[in-house]
Amino acid sequence: MELQHIFLFTAIASSSLIVAQSFRGQTSAPRAAAFIVLIASSIAWLIARSVAGYIAGILWCGLLLLPAIIRHRSGAKHDPFYRTRSPRITISPVVLALILVNVATFLIEILFGGPENPLTLYRLGELDTTSVLHAHQHWRLFTALFLHYGMLHLAFNMFALLVLGPSLERQIGPVAFAVCYLISGLGSSIIVVSLAKLRLLPPLELVGASGCVMGIVGAWGGFLLRNQDAPLARQRLRNVTVIVLMQIAFDLVTPNVSMSAHLGGLVTGFFLGLGLRRQPFRGM
């Protein structure tokens, strides 16, 4: 995974979400800027693929991110209640605990030889399909979920968890959220190993929490389908659809990522989400 692939994914995914949400009455300015970012990013990918991600990132910052920051500061300056009405990223207990565990594991990787050292990752428990199938090292199905190949890989997954996780945790409760995260990750690992056993995939060595994170996306989808009376259910379901489509597109154009692992986590999380119920509100 390279930095420019993350820039490209961020620009396209956020622009697509803005376009999808704008048809619910959002002003046309962000929508027009989002369309420009989408079109320019697509053209850059076709004619200048080696730098397309950086071009998309610059356009995203200039046309969407910076104007949004300026609007936020202007609104907060003129309206004392603006901050309380503005969407913000918050953190929840299980999400915080998972981030801390992943960061701690990353520090262990550094101490034992480096997060980009193949031998270090193998010793600490990467998902090596050959070792699982022939040496019966089934513990790798679990340990690989907390290992990451470099700081960029860790930051991308933890940011996605921070954005997607807290809202679902508040809706379904911390225990159910933790179960969805871990079982989705295990489902992702099992599906990859099963496909390798059937020789539908070559032998693989995988690390990362992306299967767990995609499981959270899938759980959101299943939960919203079952609880369509939940606040903003339809809007959030559209957002989940856009995220899934963008992730598939990202996997198709990005080397060294496993679409099978992502889809495995997504499908596992979706079926878990179908069985979830909203946490009852507890007032003071």
Whole-prediction pTM:
0.79
Annotation marks residue 210 as catalytic: yes
pLDDT tens-digit series, residues 107-146:
999 999 999 999 999 999 999 999 999 999 999 999 999 9
Say how many Å lie between the first and final Cα of the chain, rounded.
Answer: 46
Among the listed residues 5, 148, 153, 262, the single catalytic one is 262
What is d(CA 44, CA 38) in angstroms, rounded to the nearest whole number? 10
The most confident of the ranges 157-166, 242-251, 262-271 is 262-271
Is residue 262 among the annotated active site residues? yes
**What is the fold of 93-274?**
Rhomboid-like fold (1.20.1540)
- At 35, is the secondary structure helix, strand, or coil? helix
List pLDDT tens digits, range 6-50: 777 778 777 877 777 666 554 556 888 888 888 888 898 888 888
User: Does residue 74 have a pLDDT over 80?
Assistant: no
Q: Which residue is catalytic, options 14, 16, 210, 260?
A: 210
Reduce the DSSP state of residue 207 to 3 states and report it. coil
The residue ranges of every structural domain in the chain are 3-85, 93-274
Residue 230 in contact with residue 278, Cβ under 8 Å? yes
- Position 235 scores a pLDDT of 77
Spatial distance between the Cα atoms of 207 and 128, rounded to a whole number of angstroms: 9
* Average model confidence (pLDDT) across the chain: 85
Single out the residue of 189, 119, 116 nearest to residue 148, CA to CA.
116
For residue 40, what are the contacts with CB-CB under 8 A and spacing of at least 6? 55, 56, 59
